[in-house]
Amino acid sequence: MLNELKKQVLQANLDLWRQGLIICTWGNVSGIDRERGMVVIKPSGVPYEELTVDKLAIVDLQGNPAQGDCKPSSDTATHLELYRSFPACGAVAHSHSRFATSWAQAHKPVPALGTTHADYFYGEIPLTRAMTAEEIQGSYEHETGKVIVERFIDLDPERIPGVLVHSHGPFSWGATPASAVENMIVLEEVAAMAWHTLALEPSASPMARELLDKHFNRKHGDGKYYGQD
């Protein structure tokens, strides 16, 4: 069942770990089979060095277990809310990487200061609002997904494939598990670049809109020309 997706999800989890964005078990990647309505996700608390295809968990879009002996990630409900709300989303990644998490803990979005950022994110990487006590004490992981979706009411999740959850850390997504991880890697790198830029020049301002448009659209716009045909 879902053998190819399981291989992709395993590889994506290992890639995130090998890139140094995961310490201990602080993170996870999932992928969805839209046809079957099934999600493959990392099991809760399993060390990355012990992770195998057979240990991955499978749940439906309501979170009901469908296959696997291990409990799914404690963040599963967050992933499921993103799948339900972002129809083009094929995979979700979450980490507690150093720089992106620092911005989340400082309660600041990551500004779009240069072209590296613009190649992947059309504008600042947004920050969610703080969760209420009721949300935290209730269905916490589900409510985390809901505050992410709420933040994107007026934003396009395909053009900004990542977010900082207030006082928590980053989530990213993409069409595939590999692309969700790539977006997480880039999110961490541009968060680090923004940190160092503002340390060098605290008054640095966001890049010109024309430059943002040029760099984003040459990779993602209707007339994109980056890469091979």
Catalytic residues: 119, 226
Identify how many contiguous H helices and E strands the chain contains and give both numbers: 8, 7
Residue 78 and residue 44 in contact, taking contact as beta carbons nearer than 8 Å: no
